[in-house]
């Protein structure tokens, strides 16, 4: 734990991020399931792991590789206050500045994500560049298990392992879902931790939705010397929102009319009340 957040406080933040995701996606649809599944990772990253800088941003660098998961970043940056919800509600609208899959230079986005499999190499180059200059910034790169089918990802892994980039942490959203169906059916990628170990990483499989486990894994990543770190998160796309699970057995993209958004928001409201009650205890 870096910023002395309590587990309960981070759980509240994660629930609030889920609420932001649903409120954004209910406007015109979007990658809602990815956003809610990654809310706990986002809460721990943005509210504990990434160190703030003096300019109101973050000293450590977060690289989003799969553009579809931008919704997670938007949910998190709504909670930090870097984006207003009025602006975020234009997500997926014509003429918006809030791209569904953003390009390099938009607040919160280091690279042009969306041509999948290119984040790991860029984050490895970034980590190498920072280390070369003697800087202690750490680099975090989120990418998905579907991207593991791209050869460029393994070129990156080989490079990061060879260069012993211990300032680099890969976060793999191992949700077993890609555009055509389950990853295990399309082109199996398991065993993922063992593959990264073979490329010179220290790796660990977690469920990706447990705050305590996430804090522990990030701690372990920072303590790992001489090797990059791969955190394989076995998330599920509907994590934390039952209405998504009911509506979306194939949850790659959520159309506006596919879900009872009010039901989801009610569910999050109940979760938040429980967590708030715990906080008062």
Partner 1 sequence: MLLTGERQFDSAPFDSISYDLCTRRGDVVVMSADLSKYCQVVRVKKELPEQHLDVGMAEQNLLAVAAGVAKGGLVPVATCFACYITRRAYDQLLICMGTGSGAGTNVETGGLTNIAIGFTPGITNPARIHHQAAEDLGMVRAIPNATVIDPVDPTDFRAALDIAVDLPGLTYIRGHRGNTPLILDPDKFTFELGKTYTLKAGKGIGIIASGHGTQWALETSELLSERGVDHSLLHVPTIKPVNEKEVSDFAFAHDQIVTIENHQIVTGLGSLVAEIVSDTGGGPRITRIGLANRWAPGGTLAYIRAQLGLDAEVLASRLAGLAS
Give the chain's length: 281
Q: Say whether residue 249 binds partner 1 (CB under 8 A).
A: no
SS3 231: strand
Q: Which of 57, 84, 104, 182 binds partner 1 (CB under 8 A)?
A: 104
Select 70 or 243, whichever has its Cβ closest to partner 1.
70
Select 15 or 124, whichever has its Cβ closest to partner 1.
124
Residues 203 and 189: their CA atoms lie apart, in Å, by: 15
- What angle, rounded to 10 degrees, do the helices at 7-28 and 211-223 form? 110
Q: Say whether residue 93 binds partner 1 (CB under 8 A).
A: no
Cβ 199 to partner 1 shortest distance, Å: 12
Q: Say whether residue 132 binds partner 1 (CB under 8 A).
A: yes
Count of residues in contact with partner 1, rule CB under 8 A:
30
Select 29 or 125, whichever has its Cβ closest to partner 1.
125
Q: Which of residues 155-194 bind partner 1 (CB under 8 A)?
A: 155-156, 158-159, 162
Pairing relation of β-strands 168-173 and 229-233? parallel
Q: Is the four-CA dihedral 204, 209, 213, 214 of positive or negative sign?
A: positive
Cβ 187 to partner 1 shortest distance, Å: 19
Cβ 245 to partner 1 shortest distance, Å: 34
Give the rounded distance of the alpha carbon of 87 from its chain centre: 21
The answer to whether 50 and 80 are in contact (CB under 8 A) is: no
Select 129 or 182, whichever has its Cβ closest to partner 1.
129
Q: Which of 101, 128, 258, 265 binds partner 1 (CB under 8 A)?
A: 128
Exposure of 263 by Cβ count < 10 A (0-12 exposed, 13-18 middle, 19+ buried)? Answer: middle
Residues 175 and 108: their CA atoms lie apart, in Å, by: 23
Q: Say whether residue 87 binds partner 1 (CB under 8 A).
A: no
| Nearest residue to 257 (alpha-carbon basis) of 265, 267, 247 | 247
Query: Which residues here bind partner 1, judged by CB under 8 A?
Result: 61, 103-106, 110-112, 115, 118, 121-130, 132-133, 135, 151-152, 155-156, 158-159, 162
């Amino acid at each position: 734990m870096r910023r002395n957040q309590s587990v309960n406080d981070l759980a509240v933040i994660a629930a609030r991020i889920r609420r932001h995701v649903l409120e954004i996606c209910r406007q015109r649809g979007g990658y809602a399931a990815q956003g809610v599944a990654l809310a706990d990772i986002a809460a721990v990253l943005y509210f504990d792991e990434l160190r703030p800088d003096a300019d109101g941003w973050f000293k450590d660098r977060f690289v989003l590789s799969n553009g579809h998961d931008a919704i997670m970043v938007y949910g998190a940056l709504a909670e930090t206050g870097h984006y207003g919800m009025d602006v975020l509600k234009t997500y997926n609208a014509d003429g918006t500045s809030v791209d569904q899959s953003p390009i390099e230079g938009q607040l919160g986005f280091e690279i042009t994500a969306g041509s999948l499999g290119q984040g790991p190499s860029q984050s490895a180059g970034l980590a190498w560049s920072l280390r070369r200059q003697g800087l202690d910034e750490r680099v975090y790169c989120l990418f998905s298990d579907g991207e593991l089918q791209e050869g460029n990802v393994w070129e990156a892994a080989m490079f990061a392992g060879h260069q012993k980039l211990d300032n680099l942490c890969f976060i793999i959203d191992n949700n077993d879902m890609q555009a055509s169906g389950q990853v295990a059916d399309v082109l199996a990628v398991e065993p993922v931790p063992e593959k990264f170990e073979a490329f010179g990483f220290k790796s660990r499989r977690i469920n990706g939705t447990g705050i305590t486990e996430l804090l522990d894994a990030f701690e372990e990543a920072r303590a790992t010397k001489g090797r990059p770190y791969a955190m394989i998160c076995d998330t599920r796309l509907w994590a934390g929102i039952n209405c998504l699970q009911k509506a979306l057995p194939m949850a790659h993209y959520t159309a506006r009319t596919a879900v009872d958004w009010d039901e989801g928001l009610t569910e999050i409201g109940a979760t938040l009340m429980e967590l708030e009650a715990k906080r008062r205890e």
